[in-house]
Amino acid sequence: METQMNELAGINAAAQTLQNLAIRTPLAPSNILSQEYDGEIFLKLENLQRTGAFKFRGAYNKLHKLSEVEKQAGVIACSAGNHAQGVALAASLLGIRARIFMPVTAPLTKIEATKGYGAEVVLVGESFDETKELTIQEAQQTGEVFISPFDDRDVIEGQGTIGLEILADLPDVDNVIVPIGGGGLIAGIALAIKELHPETRIIGVQSYQVHGMISSLWAQQLVVNRTSKTLADGCDVALAGALTYELLHKRIDETVLVEEADIQRAIFYLALKEKVVAEGAGALSTAAILSGQINHLLKGKKTVAVVSGGNIDFSVLKGIL
């Protein structure tokens, strides 16, 4: 019990911090998926979170806990887009100066939204991992506080509040399907759920194009995996976090890799049938269901698919539709 309290203390504190700031997003039943897969399937709609993705939770929790000296120094972050917006909004609410380094390939909608929240945006690097290295180098030179998009306990605990909400709405949930990039979201959710309801199965999903975390879980050590960019740009992370890997490898039950066509199909399905706008990363959990790879886990069970974000570039959405 003592270990449980220690593990959950940070997530419970984050829930208090975010209580009147983050949206308590709905857990919506999917009648179509439930009927088709012979179970009860729900969508955790983090696309309805502030900034359109779950990232605000972790970003605010981290920035809120900075010392006054750190706040004065300003913050710097790297992001493909959603962490950028989360940090930008959190910094604006707390009166902290923020600079965000984003890959030159970042979606225009995410770049403009980040600027709209008041942060300075610098476009550098061809991929997230390259941008991350340049951001860390810059932070070392300027003294700004680097805000990791995933490999930070405060950020992870902020994301873990989603796990608390899922259990509050569906205490006997059997499966929780979560997209994976660097691992902050799934590590936080797994940390919360496995402490309170260890029987729940945690299922992680990545694209065949980029699956650093799943490759690491298979190899039982951190390895790089990226063959090309993915429609799930928010999860385009070749090397997962050391902390997220450490927290996750003991708590994940299943891993699923999906094709780009599966992700496209999931975005289309969510928009057309569920009236849910999801970006590629946000559609990964649904893609895992539609791919047919986990039918045996869904039958007769209660399953939550986390729709992690809805910040899709309009031209991409238009093309898919």
Residues 6+ apart with CB under 8 A from 253: 201, 202, 203
> For 237-261, what is the HEC assignment?
CCCCCHHHHHHHCCCCCEEEEECHH
**Residue 119 is inside which H or E element, if any?**
none
Tell me if residue 308 is catalytic: yes
Cα–Cα distance measured from residue 146 to residue 166, given in angstroms and rounded to the nearest whole number: 30
Tell me if residue 194 is catalytic: no
> Which of these is catalytic: 44, 55, 62, 110?
55
SS3 168: helix
> Which of these is catalytic: 215, 285, 291, 308?
308
Beta bridge partners of 303: 41, 175
Cα–Cα distance measured from residue 163 to residue 193, given in angstroms and rounded to the nearest whole number: 6
Contact 121, 141 (CB under 8 A): no
First to last CA, the chain: 50
Catalytic residues: 55, 308
